[in-house]
Amino acid sequence: MKALFIKGMTVKHTAKMESMVSFSTSNLVNTFCEKMKTIEGSICKRCFANNQLKMQPSTAKKLAANDWVKYDVIKKKDAPFINAAYFRFEAFGELSTMQQLENYMTIAKNNKHCNFTLFTKRADLLRAFSGKKPTNFLIMLSSPMINKQAEADGISDLIHGVFTVYDKKCVKDKEIKINCGSKKCIDCLLCYKKSKKLRVINELLK
């Protein structure tokens, strides 16, 4: 299994996520993502990853090949070494199974020197999780709907924060404080560093 992960598609990012590294599955072959793209007012209907992968079919193919992480079991002894200080799970895709979540946690447990952050809209899977989360594994709950912060009921102790996107009108009308987008992720790290309080991260819709 270790070899599979190393051969899998890790992405070195540009633009806002320059200097960050991630491991992702593809939203193009994710049933949850496909369903969310049909919902009016959802952020998924304006998914940047969807557009990017359609323009980069070779990358899309490689990310789709990472689907093994949803079903195969990564044992701690086989978890790969991650040569990074900060690492993101799911920059392009989404959680599909509990096994996928547990695999990501196994990787984190094997790399205590690294801070991992998972971005996910799957509050249902998080509520069903009954294990112990590694201290270096942070979870950002992404709000599915534009202008509406996701509810963290039942998982506030499990997640690191809530990430929500707002349009200009809502920001003005409700005086929403935008605290994401003015810096590169590596220069901000609000989503990647531990906090005693629940992080509320707000981004302006592009």
pTM, rounded to two decimals: 0.91
Q: What is the mean pLDDT of residues 129-133?
A: 94
Q: What is the pLDDT of residues 30-75, one digit of tens each?
A: 999 999 999 999 999 998 888 788 888 888 888 888 999 999 999 9
Q: What is the pLDDT of residue 103?
A: 96
SS (H, E, C) the chain: CHHHHHHCCEEECCHHHCCCEEECCCHHHCHHHHHHCCCCCEHHHHCHHHHHHHHCHHHHHHHHHHHHHHCCCCCHHHCCCCCCCEEEECCCCCCCCHHHHHHHHHHHHCCCCCEEEEEECCHHHHHHCCCCCCCCEEEEEECCECCCCCCCCCCCCCCCEEEEEECHHHHHHHCCCCCECCCCHHHHCCCCCCCCCCEEEEEECC
Q: What is the pLDDT of residues 8-30, one digit of tens each?
A: 445 566 577 788 888 999 999 99
Average pLDDT, the chain: 90
